[in-house]
Structure 1
Amino acid sequence: MSDAASNALLNVGAEVSQHEQRIKGLESENAMLRGMLANMSNASRHHYASADAMTNEVETLVMPEHGTAATHCLRLIKDRQVLDSRAVLNTSSYVNVFFEKEEMEAAAMGLRINLADQTVYPESFKMHNNTLNMVATLWNCPKPLDFYETGSFPGAGTVGSTEACLLSGLCLKFRWREWYARRHPDQPILGVRPNLVISTCFQAAWEKLFRYMDIEPKFVTPSCKSFTISAEDVKAQIDECTIGVVCILGNHYAGQYDPVWEVDEMLTQLNSYNGWQVGIHVDAASGGFVAPFQPEMADKKWDFRAPNVLSISASGHKFGESVCGTGWVVWRQRDGLSEHVAVSVSYLGGKGDSYTLNFSRPAAGIYVQYYKFHRLGKEGYSALTANRSANAAFLRHALRKMEFRGMPRFIICDHGDDGCLPVVAAYLNPAAEMGFDDIDFQHAIMGHHWYVSGYKMAYNHPLTEQELPLTTDTAQSQTMFRVVVKSNVTRNMMQNLVQSMEEALMTLDSVANAVRHGGHQLQRAMTLKRQDQGLTGTVC
């Protein structure tokens, strides 16, 4: 074959290849257009008559190729969320779940605002500072010397109280490090491990501090009769490497307040005798927006009125009534405390200080907290506090009246009707030998749509993961439950909860009675089902 013929064949082959590629391209474009057309047709349909209603997202691993109608997207979310427990009947969590239409609108506005960008959104940041100042004065923080220069107390809005606790712990650590270096100038400070004294009733935030920030926890184990630490027990744990003491204003197990005022007096004497500077952080995650509105707490110096209190943190999204993800931290002063975590930022077109661990964050929580302070005022917060306490007392009284074979059904282990969080905590009377525990009780109540938190009276050591007893006088296998009485729980709802508990107990009694009469296989089946579902009780 001549060269000309060969070249002609090659040219023909190239043209065929190009045509094939064009055909494949057109087929691909055609498939895409068909998909878009089908999707447009699908999106225009009633959601439950569309292909979207048949999507099994549990098995979906990749992003959809094509978008769909906004109404379909929202319906997809709603149809999944409806399978959750009812938020308004969740007495396990402290997080606020009720919002007026206006504050929902305020929250939606805040989603568009990056509060870190102070120069672009100066009025939003002023709202942050105004709200921070309200919190600081509520906790009797002394006005800083540079207030008229900065316009705010030392502190910040945070992502929940976890971030607030981590920031406070870091400040205590850096403050101690400077003090220890001056005291031991010839000793390498980085080779000395600091410690922090805290109750075994600590929240998960502190576990993160111990793990992430290389701080040793020194635990004080309370009695189940009080769930609070004592000044003497705290004193026994303090040494030269102690960066501070955490007092919990409303532990999440049963709602009691650690005696900050007694620990403060002890520290004044201990510091004077040893030449130390050990201070207090008040973890008021739950109590920070309750105690200021309880008349019985007016004379208790749990806040900055106690000289050794250096910082206080709280969750705005709990009894502060804001949206989830709202927290606050306030320091007594900037010098030697909050200055350790302040970072100057200038690359956004101006200069401002950032006090938070993360940077970009929406203003939604700040807006809603600002809204709630103005909407309720001190009078409104006082009324909410009184209503919650009254409803908690109603439930507590109902539990005390319940009996099993002439014996009390429950052992109440919360503080009582005042001077604590609106929490009802109890456990089934072991002496009654009812044949089930508090976690079984939790699951039975779920059949009535209420979610009540049941859990073991144990904790895992943050560094060793060893499971240890929560209190000095109960086994770690002992179970208990708690009911958090939030603002949305009315007296009618509380009456329904009492009725639901009574009916749940009747069901459990019937099952336990069947087991006693030879139904051991049934008991084993129930136990295995709980293990398969991972239902072991949680605390949050």
Structure 2
Amino acid sequence: MGLKHPKGPKHNAKEIRIDPIFAQEGFRSIPRCSMPEKEMSPDLAYQIVHDELMLDGNARLNLATFVGTWMEPQAQKLASETFDKNMIDKDEYPQTAELEMRCVSILSHLWNSPDPDNSTGCSTTGSSEAAMLGGLAMKRRWQHKRKAGGKPIDNPNIVMGINVQVCWEKFANYWDVEMRLVPMEGNRFHLSAEEAIKLCDENTIGVIAILGSTFDGSYEPVKEICGALDKFHEKTGIDIPVHVDAASGGMIAPFLDQDLIWDFRLQRVASINTSGHKYGLVYPGVGWVVWRDAKMLPEDLIFYVNYLGSNMPTFALNFSRPGSQIILQYYNFLRLGFDGYTKVQGYAREVAMYLSKEIENLGPFELITRGDELPVFAFKLRDSVKNFSVFDVSNKMRERGWLIPAYTFPANRTDLAALRIVVRRGLSQDLADLFLDDLKRQLPILQSQPEPVHDEKSGSGFHH
């Protein structure tokens, strides 16, 4: 049984009438939700699917997603040449496996691993899987330590801010770990060191620090959190590791914020995950997780598979998965180098800060963040604006093809409704100016409304 559409309607069960221009003998219509009895020409099948996909939004105008929507033609050629490679089958595709480990080594160097030439890590289908693997390793290390001390292992918890991505809620749910969430308060929209320590005890498997919140693009204070946990350790004897969820920031901070201490330079950081298909600049889906050293990844989490040709170690939630994105990640590392990534990410931040300033200057909007950490910023309506909502703004911009999410913040700031813009490779300053032109075009219409038309329930389909 498949998952139901979140809004509940059934799929249209009517048959698809074939345009006579493309029709072939025996096919005047086809069923939507059951398999046709006969085969059809590849051209007809292509045309049907191609035309339906025209109803999707334009990916380049999607300012909601962090996921990459543009790569160079050479990368697209590499992708088409390697779609058939199965990443799990390292014996049959040894060079793809070699490129995977080169990428792990590159990230280990980038994140200042104490021994980057002997790095421990792997690729995943995205940063969500990578985060879960980091969480699993923390839980298993905690269990081993508790068993060795003759203590119970039935009540683990994990501490994080309420702004974490949903993958951490899944982790806590799927692996029976109590989720201890620090709510937002006032103008603090993410985890602080002080609030993290309040929720820690001997059953805490780890603290999650987010380098780039999806709500507003801000960095959490990883160094301060680690320092507070160092003092907590000295006072109580309880040694709690930190996992850094750097899904986006892991590919921004090393290039643009080199003075920021957030990575393996901090002894308490046990593991880091990032998303190759976000600011790693690759098409979806690929993620990465790297551990400080081999001791941070318990051996009993690793499986050895020998039916594919040799005895291969694997640690993943998935089994078969495409190898092409790993090849594309290595292509980007090779193609751009450190200087290239610095230029690309620096340009994204420049565009984000330019766009946020211009939006602020329009009058009705107030910035929450400016895009000076992640190239991502959030903004809200000024308190004086009563006749339209952020959901109205989102819907009006959708009329022009722009996808800009509107959403409310979580506890204890559910009163705050915001819009968010993600600037990534492909969103040039020219496109930013076109966005501003459209926003200026729609504002008089919004300002002429007697009252808001849309709220969180009736606005766009985006839910944070």
Taking the aligned partners of 1:54 and 1:303, their CA distance within structure 2 comes to 60
Q: CA deviation at 1:536?
A: 5.3
TM-score (norm 2): 0.91
1:212-253 Cα offsets, whole Å, 9 max, x none, are: 000011111234534232211111111010000000000001
Amino acid at match of 1:411: E
Q: CA deviation at 1:99?
A: 1.6
Contact 2:201 2:238 in 1 (8 A): no
Taking the aligned partners of 1:354 and 1:75, their CA distance within structure 2 comes to 40
1:245-281 Cα offsets, whole Å, 9 max, x none, are: 0000000011000011111111122113222220100
1:90-120 Cα offsets, whole Å, 9 max, x none, are: 0000000002222112122332111111111
Structure 2: gaps of 5 or more residues: 1-17
Taking the aligned partners of 1:386 and 1:140, their CA distance within structure 2 comes to 21
Matches within 5 A, 1:40-51: 48-50=22-24
Structure 1: gaps of 5 or more residues: 1-42, 404-408, 459-468, 516-522
Partner of 2:82: 110
| Closer/same/farther in 2, CA of residues 53 and 507 from structure 1, 3 Å limit | farther
User: 1:422 aligned to 2:375?
Assistant: yes
Matches within 5 A, 1:86-485: 86-143=58-115, 153-183=119-149, 185=150, 187-189=151-153, 192-223=154-185, 225-294=187-256, 297-403=257-363, 409-414=364-369, 416-418=370-372, 420-430=373-383, 432-458=384-410, 469=411, 472=412, 474=413, 476-485=414-423
| Closer/same/farther in 2, CA of residues 52 and 333 from structure 1, 3 Å limit | farther
1:422-465 Cα offsets, whole Å, 9 max, x none, are: 012101112x133221111101110111110111112xxxxxxx
Q: Which has the larger radius of gyration?
A: 1
Q: CA deviation at 1:337?
A: 2.2
Taking the aligned partners of 1:51 and 1:397, their CA distance within structure 2 comes to 59
Contact 1:92 1:453 in 2 (8 A): yes
Taking the aligned partners of 1:224 and 1:75, their CA distance within structure 2 comes to 53
| Closer/same/farther in 2, CA of residues 153 and 535 from structure 1, 3 Å limit | same
Amino acid at match of 2:399: G
Amino acid at match of 2:353: A
Taking the aligned partners of 1:315 and 1:54, their CA distance within structure 2 comes to 45
Taking the aligned partners of 2:27 and 2:440, their CA distance within structure 1 comes to 40
| Closer/same/farther in 2, CA of residues 127 and 508 from structure 1, 3 Å limit | same
| Closer/same/farther in 2, CA of residues 306 and 54 from structure 1, 3 Å limit | farther
Q: CA deviation at 1:401?
A: 1.1
Taking the aligned partners of 1:224 and 1:382, their CA distance within structure 2 comes to 34
Taking the aligned partners of 1:87 and 1:536, their CA distance within structure 2 comes to 16
Partner of 2:460: 535
Taking the aligned partners of 2:255 and 2:261, their CA distance within structure 1 comes to 14
Amino acid at match of 1:501: L
Taking the aligned partners of 1:289 and 1:51, their CA distance within structure 2 comes to 53
Contact 1:231 1:263 in 2 (8 A): yes
Taking the aligned partners of 2:308 and 2:270, their CA distance within structure 1 comes to 32
Taking the aligned partners of 1:311 and 1:340, their CA distance within structure 2 comes to 17
Amino acid at match of 1:487: R
Structure 1 counterpart SS, 2:294: coil
CA-based RMSD? 2.3
Taking the aligned partners of 2:387 and 2:26, their CA distance within structure 1 comes to 47
Q: CA deviation at 1:478?
A: 2.8
Amino acid at match of 2:109: T
Taking the aligned partners of 2:254 and 2:355, their CA distance within structure 1 comes to 24
| Closer/same/farther in 2, CA of residues 52 and 435 from structure 1, 3 Å limit | farther
Contact 2:210 2:219 in 1 (8 A): yes
Structure 2 counterpart SS, 1:112: coil
- Report the structure, 1 or 2, having the larger helix content: 1
The percent identity for this pair of structures is 31
Structure 2 counterpart SS, 1:137: helix
Contact 1:220 1:229 in 2 (8 A): yes
1:308-332 Cα offsets, whole Å, 9 max, x none, are: 0000001100010011111000001
The equivalent position to 2:443 in structure 1, one of 505, 516, 532, is 505
Q: How many residues align?
A: 448
Contact 1:115 1:125 in 2 (8 A): yes
Taking the aligned partners of 2:267 and 2:246, their CA distance within structure 1 comes to 17
